[in-house]
Amino acid sequence: MISLFGHTALVTGGTLGVGRAIGEQLARCGSNIVLHGLQRDAAAEDAQAAIQSLGVDCHLVTGDLSGPTEEAVAALVDRATSAADSIDILISNAGTYREPDFLEIDFATFDRTMKLNVYSHFFLIQALARRWIERSVKGRVLVTGSINGRLAEQTHAAYDTSKGAVETMIKTLCVSLAPHGIRVNGMAPGLVRTPLTALALDQPGVTEWMKLHTPNGEVPGPNVCAPAAAFLVSDEAWHIHGQMLLVDGGMSVWQQPDPPGV
């Protein structure tokens, strides 16, 4: 069993989907949690209660990371560190997924996607890294990427662009921060069922089609991502730096499936 006792993790976008699953898994491993969500709503309070039921401290902080990045990140860091001064793990997970077709994307939509999916990760890591270096803390960072950082979707041009940037960012920040004892890695889910993906998956035939394109034939829930995240921020992964672990049922290695019945 991975142990994270004595650690405190800030989990952004932690009230739903993959973020919530990761927060609960880290709590099972003993980490205290600072849970970030867009707003204090029923889902956020339910996620906080679920984590507290696991016997660890869980603070809930809110904020919109798609706003002006400098102000949004500064406000989140202030709220999070005021709630728990001992944060030494960052799960930078907040992101957006829905957008119109490429020819319909306007600047505001693209800008919001990049702010939330790239800028907020970059500057949140920077802010906490500065704090950790000043305090000689060996911090651990995990950024949620996506299989879309490697495999494009016709209807997600801005999202795909942002997730490609995330993968290179992880490598670059590894080079900058590893000499300070700070580990930066990423996890890229394949298609998992979350509130963001449910609208597409619930369309007739979509889930079956995606299972066909996944070697293990599964479209699981977000809990499938959580053990990998816990491992990557644990002591057992001390020599893993700058890597993107794909949790995708093999989708990323399959050029194309055979047609049904072949």
Catalytic residue among 159, 174, 214, 248: 159
Name the CA dihedral angle for 258, 256, 247, 157, rounded to a multiple of 10 degrees: -140
Residue 108: which residues within 8 A CB-CB, separation 6 or more? none
Active site residue 159: yes
The CA distance from 262 to 32, in Å, is 50
In 10 A of CB 183, how many CB atoms?
23
- Provide the β-strand partners of residue 187: 144, 245
Q: How far is CA 31 from CA 28, 35, 89, 226, 244, in A?
A: 7, 12, 9, 13, 23
- Chain Cα centroid distance, residue 5: 21
In 10 A of CB 53, how many CB atoms?
11
Helices 17-28 + 42-52 axis angle, to 10: 20
Residue 176: which residues within 8 A CB-CB, separation 6 or more? none
Catalytic positions, please? Answer: 159
